[in-house]
Amino acid sequence: MNDTVLVRQGDYFGAPPELTIHLVERLRDELIAALREGGGMTIVMDSVGHIDTAALQVLVSARRTAAALGRELVLARPSEAVRGVADRLGLEQALFGPAA
């Protein structure tokens, strides 16, 4: 069994079909580890069919942490499901806009 949430695919990471509260602890740990390694990070989100508030909160926090470290965390090609939930929660700018 593979316990990673994000799958490295060359220069970027692929997100799984579901990002939910059941995965947020592992997602957070993987994001922290990747940001500590240095450099920026891109997560391709086009395969995500279901995402919940907990996962979005982790991603927003990770983007803020990356910015504070002088790094960039890009959430690329968000699926309609991701955009829809982000829009309903008012998180589009925090997730997909320029880092603050």
DSSP 77: S
In this prediction, residue 3 has a pLDDT band, given cuts at 50, 70 and 90, of: confident
The architecture in CATH of the region 7-96 reads 2-Layer Sandwich (3.30)
**Sequence ranges of the domains in the chain:** 7-96
Q: Are 68 and 98 in contact (CB under 8 A)?
A: no
Q: What is the pLDDT of residues 19-73, one digit of tens each?
A: 999 999 999 999 998 888 877 899 999 999 999 999 999 999 999 999 998 999 9
